[in-house]
Amino acid sequence: MKDGPDIARLAALIGDPARANMLAALMAGKALTASELAAEAGIAAPTASAHLARLEAGGLVRQRRQGRHKYVTLAGDEVAQVLEALMGLAAGTGHLRTRPGPRDAELRKARVCYNHLAGDLGTRLYDSLAARNLIRAEGDSLVLTPAGVAAMAAFGIDVADLSRGRAPLCRACLDWSERRTHLAGSLGRALLARIEAKGWARRGEARLVRFTPEGEAAFCRELAPLP
């Protein structure tokens, strides 16, 4: 028997279509009930519960009971990173599921990637921050420059408070639809929360982020201007 991490077991857990649909739904960053996840997967509630037990045993999700309901979340950022990377690989190799109607275009424009902004507007944000030298790559790391700290403070984000957390402040995340980078990490999470708090956008069904026309204009003008 070979030594080392058992990637086959994790791949089998993710590879089941019903479990893959439930994990994709949890990429919205919200806690969902088993019933909601059963609906996402198109399966009966008892079957969903069995799948969730396997995902929890495999370390991919967490379940907690509150009142009459049991709520499910991804086990952490590391799981979300793996799922987003697999989505990018699937998109890049032509393994795409067809979603009729405008929802696909909306998902490509702006969506939640676990807890930060992804899609066209997410990559625009990253490109703008990099072009203005507010973020900078240093080796394999992504850092916020002193100018970036000042810009975030002006936008209402306390970088010092974020830096005290366990999550990395800035992390580059490959966007599956754009095949370019968007911003993750605690700063990416804080930016999306601030965008929502300002009323520029709200989360829709599944992973959608819908900007108002005024909010999108403000986002492009104040937060993500391009050279």
Tell me how far CA of residue 191 lies from CA of 26, 82, 112, 198, 201, in angstroms. 20, 22, 12, 11, 12
- Predicted pLDDT at 102: 42
Quick one: average pLDDT of 55-76?
88
Query: Mean per-residue pLDDT for 59-81?
Result: 87
The answer to whether residues 103 and 210 touch, using CB atoms and an 8 Å cutoff, is no
Q: The tokens of 196 are what?
A: 């929502």
Beta bridge partners of 111: 118, 208
Q: Kindly indicate the confidence band of residue 221, based on its pLDDT and cuts at 50, 70 and 90.
A: very high
Where is 152: in which H helix or E strand?
helix 146-154
Query: What is the mean pLDDT of the segment spanning 10-26?
Result: 90
Q: Report the chain's mean pLDDT, rounded to a whole number.
A: 87
Reply yes or no on whether the pLDDT at 99 is more than 90. no
Would the pLDDT of 97 be above 90? no
Tokens 């509150």 belong to: 66
Residue 187, pLDDT > 90, answer yes
Q: What's residue 100's pLDDT?
A: 41
Nearest residue to 167 via CA among 105, 107, 57, 81: 81
Mean pLDDT of 2-11: 79
pLDDT at 85: 80
Task: Work out the average pLDDT over 104-112.
Answer: 86
Nearest CA to 134 among 181, 175, 187, 81? Answer: 187
> pLDDT category, 103, cuts 50, 70, 90?
low
The pLDDT confidence band at residue 94, using thresholds 50, 70 and 90, is low
Give the separation between CA 74 and CA 60, rounded to whole angstroms: 6
**Model confidence at 110: pLDDT above 60:** yes
Q: Which structural domains are found in the chain, ordered by start?
A: 7-75 (1.10.10.10), 79-223 (no CATH)
| First CA to last CA distance, the chain | 56
Token pair in block for residue 223? 């937060």
Taking 90 as the threshold, does the pLDDT of residue 177 lie above it? no
Measured in degrees and rounded to the nearest 5, phi and psi for residue 73 equal: -135, 165
Higher pLDDT, 65 or 60: 60
* pLDDT tens digits along 133-172: 999 998 878 999 999 999 999 999 999 999 998 889 999 8
pLDDT value for 98: 54
- Kindly indicate the confidence band of residue 5, based on its pLDDT and cuts at 50, 70 and 90: confident
